[in-house]
Chains A and B, each alone.
Chain A
Protein backbone atom coordinates (compact mmCIF):
# COMPACT_ATOMS: atom_id res chain seq x y z
CA UNK A 1 0.00 0.00 0.00
CA UNK A 2 0.82 3.73 0.13
CA UNK A 3 1.96 4.13 -3.45
CA UNK A 4 2.59 7.51 -5.01
CA UNK A 5 3.03 7.88 -8.75
CA UNK A 6 4.28 10.75 -10.89
CA UNK A 7 3.72 11.52 -14.52
CA UNK A 8 5.63 12.00 -16.68
CA UNK A 9 8.79 10.30 -15.45
CA UNK A 10 10.86 12.58 -17.65
CA UNK A 11 10.19 15.52 -19.93
CA UNK A 12 12.22 17.66 -22.29
CA UNK A 13 10.85 21.03 -23.28
CA UNK A 14 11.91 24.23 -25.01
CA UNK A 15 12.76 27.33 -23.04
CA UNK A 16 9.69 29.50 -22.50
CA UNK A 17 7.15 26.71 -22.52
CA UNK A 18 5.16 25.42 -19.55
CA UNK A 19 5.32 21.90 -18.19
CA UNK A 20 2.81 20.15 -15.94
CA UNK A 21 3.80 17.32 -13.60
CA UNK A 22 1.18 15.15 -11.91
CA UNK A 23 1.45 13.47 -8.54
CA UNK A 24 -1.11 10.83 -7.57
CA UNK A 25 -1.71 8.80 -4.43
CA UNK A 26 -2.89 5.44 -5.76
CA UNK A 27 -4.29 3.67 -2.75
CA UNK A 28 -4.87 6.31 -0.10
CA UNK A 29 -6.31 9.76 0.27
CA UNK A 30 -3.57 12.37 0.51
CA UNK A 31 -4.65 15.33 2.61
CA UNK A 32 -1.24 16.92 2.18
CA UNK A 33 1.21 16.73 -0.70
CA UNK A 34 4.71 18.13 -0.90
CA UNK A 35 6.83 19.15 -3.87
CA UNK A 36 10.61 18.91 -3.75
CA UNK A 37 13.35 19.83 -6.19
CA UNK A 38 16.68 18.02 -6.34
CA UNK A 39 19.65 19.25 -8.37
CA UNK A 40 22.40 16.78 -9.36
CA UNK A 41 24.41 15.50 -6.40
CA UNK A 42 22.37 17.57 -3.98
CA UNK A 43 19.71 16.90 -1.41
CA UNK A 44 15.97 17.34 -1.68
CA UNK A 45 14.78 20.88 -1.10
CA UNK A 46 11.15 21.48 -0.22
CA UNK A 47 9.43 23.85 -2.64
CA UNK A 48 5.88 23.91 -1.35
CA UNK A 49 3.23 22.20 0.72
CA UNK A 50 -0.26 21.77 -0.65
CA UNK A 51 -3.42 20.80 1.15
CA UNK A 52 -6.45 19.56 -0.72
CA UNK A 53 -8.80 22.39 -1.59
CA UNK A 54 -6.59 25.23 -0.42
CA UNK A 55 -3.72 27.33 -1.71
CA UNK A 56 -0.22 25.94 -1.51
CA UNK A 57 2.31 27.24 0.99
CA UNK A 58 5.62 28.03 -0.68
CA UNK A 59 9.04 27.91 0.91
CA UNK A 60 11.14 31.04 1.03
CA UNK A 61 12.75 31.79 -2.32
CA UNK A 62 10.31 29.72 -4.39
CA UNK A 63 8.29 31.83 -6.83
CA UNK A 64 4.63 30.93 -6.53
CA UNK A 65 3.79 32.46 -9.91
CA UNK A 66 6.42 30.35 -11.61
CA UNK A 67 5.66 27.07 -9.89
CA UNK A 68 1.88 26.73 -9.90
CA UNK A 69 0.50 24.04 -7.62
CA UNK A 70 -3.02 22.69 -7.70
CA UNK A 71 -4.35 20.10 -5.26
CA UNK A 72 -7.90 19.74 -6.48
CA UNK A 73 -8.62 16.28 -5.13
CA UNK A 74 -7.46 13.98 -2.36
CA UNK A 75 -5.49 11.87 -4.82
CA UNK A 76 -4.00 14.39 -7.25
CA UNK A 77 -1.68 17.37 -7.07
CA UNK A 78 -0.11 19.07 -10.06
CA UNK A 79 2.97 21.25 -10.38
CA UNK A 80 3.19 23.49 -13.42
CA UNK A 81 6.53 25.05 -14.24
CA UNK A 82 5.61 28.16 -16.21
CA UNK A 83 7.89 29.76 -18.79
CA UNK A 84 10.56 27.19 -18.07
CA UNK A 85 14.23 28.12 -18.43
CA UNK A 86 17.34 25.91 -18.48
CA UNK A 87 18.01 26.67 -14.80
CA UNK A 88 14.68 25.00 -13.99
CA UNK A 89 16.11 21.69 -15.21
CA UNK A 90 16.03 19.43 -12.19
CA UNK A 91 14.54 16.32 -10.62
CA UNK A 92 11.11 17.10 -9.18
CA UNK A 93 9.79 14.75 -6.51
CA UNK A 94 6.41 14.77 -4.81
CA UNK A 95 5.34 13.12 -1.59
CA UNK A 96 2.03 12.61 0.12
CA UNK A 97 0.71 11.99 3.60
CA UNK A 98 -2.56 10.46 4.62
CA UNK A 99 -4.83 11.70 7.39
CA UNK A 100 -2.49 10.78 10.22
CA UNK A 101 0.16 13.01 8.61
CA UNK A 102 2.92 10.99 10.18
CA UNK A 103 4.49 9.29 7.19
CA UNK A 104 5.45 10.83 3.87
CA UNK A 105 5.34 8.52 0.87
CA UNK A 106 7.48 9.63 -2.04
CA UNK A 107 6.85 9.41 -5.75
CA UNK A 108 9.49 8.17 -8.21
CA UNK A 109 10.34 11.67 -9.41
CA UNK A 110 10.13 13.54 -12.72
CA UNK A 111 13.26 14.62 -14.52
CA UNK A 112 12.84 17.92 -16.35
CA UNK A 113 15.28 19.12 -18.97
CA UNK A 114 14.73 22.56 -20.42
CA UNK A 115 16.62 23.27 -23.62
Chain B
Protein backbone atom coordinates (compact mmCIF):
# COMPACT_ATOMS: atom_id res chain seq x y z
CA UNK B 1 0.00 0.00 0.00
CA UNK B 2 0.96 3.64 -0.27
CA UNK B 3 3.18 5.19 2.38
CA UNK B 4 4.02 8.79 2.99
CA UNK B 5 7.69 9.79 2.96
CA UNK B 6 9.10 11.14 6.19
CA UNK B 7 12.45 12.78 6.73
CA UNK B 8 14.75 12.46 8.39
CA UNK B 9 14.54 8.71 8.89
CA UNK B 10 16.27 9.03 12.24
CA UNK B 11 17.95 11.70 14.30
CA UNK B 12 20.10 12.01 17.38
CA UNK B 13 19.81 15.28 19.24
CA UNK B 14 20.87 16.68 22.56
CA UNK B 15 18.40 17.49 25.30
CA UNK B 16 17.15 21.04 24.95
CA UNK B 17 17.53 21.19 21.19
CA UNK B 18 14.66 21.84 18.81
CA UNK B 19 13.62 19.13 16.36
CA UNK B 20 11.98 19.40 12.97
CA UNK B 21 10.67 16.60 10.78
CA UNK B 22 8.47 16.54 7.73
CA UNK B 23 6.16 14.36 5.74
CA UNK B 24 5.40 14.48 2.02
CA UNK B 25 2.91 12.82 -0.24
CA UNK B 26 2.37 12.58 -3.97
CA UNK B 27 -1.36 13.02 -3.45
CA UNK B 28 -3.65 15.30 -1.50
CA UNK B 29 -4.99 14.60 1.98
CA UNK B 30 -7.78 16.45 3.75
CA UNK B 31 -6.48 15.74 7.24
CA UNK B 32 -2.95 15.34 8.53
CA UNK B 33 -2.18 13.65 11.83
CA UNK B 34 0.99 13.19 13.84
CA UNK B 35 1.46 10.21 16.16
CA UNK B 36 4.19 9.07 18.54
CA UNK B 37 4.89 5.40 19.12
CA UNK B 38 6.93 4.09 22.03
CA UNK B 39 8.54 0.63 21.76
CA UNK B 40 6.01 -2.19 22.02
CA UNK B 41 3.02 0.12 22.17
CA UNK B 42 0.38 1.49 19.85
CA UNK B 43 0.65 5.00 18.38
CA UNK B 44 -0.67 7.94 20.36
CA UNK B 45 -2.16 10.97 18.63
CA UNK B 46 -0.20 14.18 19.15
CA UNK B 47 -1.73 16.72 16.80
CA UNK B 48 -4.50 16.74 14.18
CA UNK B 49 -4.65 19.26 11.31
CA UNK B 50 -7.81 19.82 9.31
CA UNK B 51 -7.23 22.84 7.08
CA UNK B 52 -4.54 23.70 4.53
CA UNK B 53 -2.13 26.23 6.02
CA UNK B 54 -3.26 25.49 9.57
CA UNK B 55 -0.63 25.78 12.29
CA UNK B 56 -1.48 23.97 15.52
CA UNK B 57 0.39 23.65 18.80
CA UNK B 58 0.20 21.14 21.61
CA UNK B 59 2.61 22.12 24.38
CA UNK B 60 6.11 21.96 22.94
CA UNK B 61 4.84 20.49 19.69
CA UNK B 62 3.85 22.54 16.66
CA UNK B 63 2.60 21.12 13.38
CA UNK B 64 1.55 22.68 10.11
CA UNK B 65 -0.69 21.48 7.30
CA UNK B 66 0.98 22.39 4.01
CA UNK B 67 -0.74 24.77 1.61
CA UNK B 68 -0.63 22.21 -1.21
CA UNK B 69 -2.22 19.60 1.13
CA UNK B 70 0.60 17.26 0.15
CA UNK B 71 2.88 17.84 3.11
CA UNK B 72 3.11 18.57 6.80
CA UNK B 73 5.83 19.24 9.33
CA UNK B 74 6.22 18.71 13.05
CA UNK B 75 8.47 20.72 15.35
CA UNK B 76 9.41 19.82 18.90
CA UNK B 77 10.95 22.57 20.95
CA UNK B 78 13.35 22.12 23.86
CA UNK B 79 13.48 18.34 23.58
CA UNK B 80 13.56 16.18 26.69
CA UNK B 81 14.53 12.52 27.14
CA UNK B 82 10.92 11.31 27.10
CA UNK B 83 10.56 12.64 23.55
CA UNK B 84 12.45 9.53 22.43
CA UNK B 85 10.34 7.36 20.15
CA UNK B 86 9.13 7.01 16.60
CA UNK B 87 7.04 9.78 15.13
CA UNK B 88 4.60 8.95 12.35
CA UNK B 89 2.60 11.25 10.16
CA UNK B 90 -0.67 10.00 8.73
CA UNK B 91 -2.94 11.35 6.03
CA UNK B 92 -6.66 10.94 5.76
CA UNK B 93 -8.96 11.60 2.83
CA UNK B 94 -12.61 12.54 3.12
CA UNK B 95 -15.11 9.87 2.20
CA UNK B 96 -12.79 7.01 3.13
CA UNK B 97 -14.35 6.17 6.49
CA UNK B 98 -11.35 7.65 8.29
CA UNK B 99 -8.85 5.26 6.70
CA UNK B 100 -5.30 6.40 7.44
CA UNK B 101 -2.15 6.22 5.34
CA UNK B 102 0.95 6.25 7.54
CA UNK B 103 4.35 7.73 6.90
CA UNK B 104 7.61 5.82 7.05
CA UNK B 105 8.43 7.21 10.50
CA UNK B 106 11.15 9.32 12.08
CA UNK B 107 13.07 7.74 14.93
CA UNK B 108 14.14 10.31 17.51
CA UNK B 109 16.82 9.72 20.10
CA UNK B 110 17.70 12.33 22.69
CA UNK B 111 21.02 12.37 24.48
CA UNK B 112 21.60 14.08 27.77
Contacts and interface: CB of A to CB of B under 8 A. Distances in A.
Interface residues of B, number: 20
A46 B100 contact: yes
Contacts, number: 57
Contacts of A60: 1
Contacts of A45: 1, 3, 102
Interface in A62-115: 91, 93, 95, 97, 101-109, 111
Contacts of B104: 43
B29 interface: no
B54 to A, nearest CB: 15
B48 A44 contact: no
A106 B42 CA distance: 6
Contacts of B103: 43
Given A43-B104, A45-B1, A102 B99 contact: no
Output the residue of A44, A61, A103, A106 with the most chain B CB within 10 A. A44
Contacts of A4: 42
Contact of B98 (A43, A59, A102, A111): A102
B72 to A, nearest CB: 15
A59 B35 CA distance: 22
A34 B43 contact: no
Given A43-B102, A103-B98, 10 more contacts: A6-B42, A32-B98, A43-B105, A44-B43, A45-B1, A101-B98, A107-B42, A108-B42, A109-B40, A109-B42
Interface of B: 1, 3, 35, 40-45, 48, 88, 97-105
6 contacts: A32-B98, A43-B105, A45-B3, A91-B40, A104-B98, A107-B42
